Amino acid sequence: MTPGPREIVTPFRPIPLEVPEGMKPNEFFNSTENLNDLVNNNGLLVNPENLLLYRKALGHSSEFDCSIIYNTSQTILNPLGRPVRRTQVPAGVKHAWNRMNQILVSYMLETYPDPAEALVLAGEASLDATWPLTSPGVPSIRMLHNHFIVFPMDQLRQAAQADPANPNLTDGGQHSLFQAHMRDVYRRFFAEALDLRILRTIHSAESQLALTGYPEGLPCWEIQGGAEALKDIRFWREYDAILEGFLDFYRTFFSQVSSRNAPPLPDLHYPDAVERVLLFDNEFLGTARRVRERCITDPAYANAIRWQPAFKQLIYRNDAGKLLVTISQNSIGNAITELLGVVVKRVPDAAAYAAFEPLLLKKLLTVRERLIAADLGEGIATADWPAN
């Protein structure tokens, strides 16, 4: 079978909400009204840290699919002022969120132990608050949220090949500015800036899924110790360190694009490595010059620049059963599944959704009980399930 991205079709039950006249859908989906729907119609569990576990109404997978959102819709009314990445949330919230992540990932691995039968992934989608709400690729819920997804491998094997030119699939490899022009310095910066003991750098051949050939060119790290390592708080600190290193690289690069020979930013996580590795690297600064010169002469190109960092960071299981971490330089705004070469085409079909809903809910309610038992929240009652 020829490796390549796959496109699957996932039915959903139409959401019983109408977008007010004059509003764009992604503007409405950031409203308190939409978040109320998440709680009242799809909410599974909530805790005092405002972390909401919910069923995905517009899901990626019919097998297992849920999200946790840091629901600040009623405490921060300005959508542009809400936390959009892990490094922006209070320590207590992140602590609870990491524990929830650990329990959910462990449940998925326990329920789907064979990598030949199920693709397991978990990760978060993030963007900078300076992006306009109406920009292409901006997620429909402008709050930090993550995804827990399982795809049956048989479904992926039988799926049609996706168009490799789909813009949502061009986040890594030869299409990416980072990978095409700064691959070596990007990886060297991670190696020199970060003190990683649980996470181990691996080569692309080990990280790629044989079926899809993805991730395509993105840096990847093996979680040494597998699922047990997720119970170690050091892993989550290293998971944060990957993000911090990415943010320093991205922000430093675009500060040089914006202003030639700009001084180091004042709030870097790894200022010594930035000065030693990045600001003395000819490839890094030469690429910044080429991008800067094109911005001056090409208005469309300049308008498409994401001046502030956006990314997708995820944990996934490879073909050999190892848990890996990767992070994208999210210049396009692609869905988290597309980092692994899975394109999801959602279609409204209430009857098809009803066919798999009971088993899906059984799994979601089972993992909810584990979270409640670990004092990570209280169950939410909806028309479809009780609070406990």
Q: What is the pLDDT of residues 274-330, one digit of tens each?
A: 999 999 999 999 999 999 999 999 998 887 777 878 788 999 999 999 999 999 876
Comparing CA positions, the residue from 209, 265, 242, 216 lying closest to residue 311 is: 242
In a domain, 359, yes or no: yes
- H or E stretch at 117: none
In a domain, 388, yes or no: no
* Phi and psi, residue 252, nearest 5°: -65, -45
Among the ranges 32-41, 121-130, 183-192, which has the highest mean pLDDT value? 183-192
> DSSP assignment of 272-310, as one string?
HHIIIIITT-HHHHHHHHHHHHHHHH-HHHHHH---S--
* Residue-number span of the structural domain to which 169 is assigned: 6-23+39-379
In a domain, 75, yes or no: yes
pLDDT at position 214 over 50: yes
- H or E stretch at 124: strand 118-126
pTM beyond 0.85, yes or no: yes
pLDDT at 173: 47
pLDDT at position 369 over 60: yes
In a domain, 33, yes or no: no
| Strands 220-223 and 160-161, sheet pairing | unpaired
In a domain, 105, yes or no: yes
What is the dihedral sign for C-alpha 387, 74, 35, 33? Answer: positive
In a domain, 28, yes or no: no
Which strands sit side by side in the sheet containing 6-12, from one edge to the other?
A: 160-161, 6-12, 342-348
In a domain, 203, yes or no: yes
> Structural domain tally of the chain?
1
pLDDT at position 251 over 60: yes
In a domain, 202, yes or no: yes
